[in-house]
């Protein structure tokens, strides 16, 4: 049995979270995992029992590629155990975004703090961060990532 971990990440922070979730499932729970980005993940959908989608929030919206994956493959995802991890810089997930994510029918949705590194951003992205009075930094809580990852095997990610 295999769990697909889909990483939608523009600058790599959410990819690292996805890879950590896969590692936790593999090393602590003996789950066979594969990590793919949104464009390569569809080829695995017919062969897995569970899917974890990790996607970030950019400028107050869900990442376009991650949301497109969830929208495009909604029927296929309905046939597996689906889990969604949203990452972002805010202390908590906005209620409107939470409702959007909940509508995908995942067994569990979690919000994990992400990372924002100035050197990885375009000029436009830096300007948006400045206008929003955002702060750069690595806010990822690896203990929270590990804890959530371990909990998945007991709820269908196996």
Report the distance separating Cα 129 and Cα 108, nearest Å: 30
Q: Which of 21-25, 59-63, 138-142 has the highest mean pLDDT?
A: 21-25
Q: Which DSSP state fits 153?
A: G
Q: Are 111 and 93 in contact (CB under 8 A)?
A: yes
Q: How far is CA 132 from the centre of its chain?
A: 23
pLDDT of 124: 79
Structure tokens at 70: 């969830």
Report the distance separating Cα 139 and Cα 135, nearest Å: 10
pLDDT of 84: 97
pLDDT of 65 above 70 = yes
pLDDT of 122 above 90 = no
pLDDT of 98: 93
Answer whether 0.75 is exceeded by the pTM.
yes
Percent of the chain with pLDDT over 90: 65
pLDDT of 5 above 80 = yes
pLDDT of 158: 64
Report the distance separating Cα 7 and Cα 39, nearest Å: 10
pLDDT of 126: 67
Nearest to 35 by CA among 56, 8, 13, 58: 8
């Amino acid at each position: 049995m295999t769990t697909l971990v889909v990483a939608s990440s523009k600058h790599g922070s959410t990819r690292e979270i996805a890879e950590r979730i896969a590692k936790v499932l593999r090393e602590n729970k003996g789950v066979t995992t594969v990590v793919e980005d949104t464009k390569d993940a569809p080829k695995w959908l017919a062969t897995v029992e569970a899917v974890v989608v990790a996607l970030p929030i950019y400028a107050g919206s869900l990442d376009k590629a991650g949301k497109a994956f969830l929208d495009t493959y909604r029927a296929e995802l309905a046939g597996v155990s689906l889990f969604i991890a949203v990452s972002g810089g805010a202390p908590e997930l906005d209620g409107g975004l939470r409702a959007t994510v909940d509508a995908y029918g995942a067994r569990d949705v979690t919000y994990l703090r992400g990372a924002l590194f100035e050197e990885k951003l375009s000029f436009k992205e830096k300007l948006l961060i400045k206008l929003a009075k955002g702060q750069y930094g690595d806010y990822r809580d690896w203990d929270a990532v590990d804890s959530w990852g371990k909990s998945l095997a007991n709820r269908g990610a196996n």
